[in-house]
Amino acid sequence: MGKSLIEAVMSAEPDLGLGAATVKAGDPSLGLDAGLLASGRKAGVRTVDSLAGCAGDFDVLIDFTSPAALAGHAEFCRAHRKALVLGTTGLGPEHHELLAACAEAAPVLHAPNMSLGVNLSLQLLRQAGAALGEGFDVEIIEAHHRHKKDAPSGTALAMGRAVAETRGQNLADCAIYGRRGISGERDRNTIGFASVRGGDIVGEHTVIFAGPGERLEISHKAGNRATFANGALRAARWLAGKPPKLYTMPDVLTPANAGLASCPSWRL
């Protein structure tokens, strides 16, 4: 994902530029030109293993790393008042507390999926959940590559929450994560999840509304990671210069914000 982001920045309009790029301590790519690692073209920015010396090098931090790295990144953005676009999934309550603290000093946008199509799907799911109600059973199937560490995916959980909220439910109380053996008849108040892991599947999500005599399916399939990278850049453009607050992708996609107006040369 990091390589996709760097390539997207290097191919973007002149209003965006690469200011810094981080890797894990001890990574073989440490100190190399980030552009050569991503696209074979020099970016003039060498990778570092810490943001400590980069405060003057960028305006917006795009983070697709891991929950373990979030504490340091959020604290850096809070201390230096840098905008933060976060696409990391698998977050727990403690991570959301870090984001809330960071958002008191800097603009923060978190989304479990930066794809524009996925975020539009969430809106469609809310409409479908409200219209169909509890008369339809809801099952969510998601598939990702073999290296993905969390399950269900953050996107699948966001889709489940979108449907649950329209039905007046708390997802934590109604979610079923897989079935095995004699599980009994389905409780129609539940929302089921199934996760597939294999190969190089980028990301596929399908929400099934199964009712008497008919079935509605809302699906999204990502063909490559550029989908998420381009969505993250759009979020970064929109977030740059915003007041401190915790934002979401629907804020970016509201009709009033739907344009792609350039921002004044922000560095990422």
CA distance 223 to 176: 28
Query: For residue 234, what are its two tokens?
Result: 């759009």
Consecutive H or E run containing 226: helix 226-239
Q: Does residue 148 have an active-site annotation? A: yes
Q: Does residue 205 have an active-site annotation? A: no
Tokens 């597939």 identify what position? Answer: 196
Annotated active-site residue in 3, 80, 148, 242: 148
214 beta partners:
211
- Three-state DSSP class for 218? strand
**Which residues are CB-neighbours of 5 under 8 A, at least 6 positions away?**
62, 64, 229, 232, 233, 268
Q: Are 64 and 115 in contact (CB under 8 A)?
A: no
Long-range contacts of 89-94 (CB under 8 A, 24+ apart): 89/150, 89/153, 89/154, 89/155, 90/66, 90/149, 90/150, 90/154, 91/67, 91/154, 92/67
Annotated active-site residue in 73, 82, 95, 144: 144
What positions carry a catalytic annotation?
Answer: 144, 148
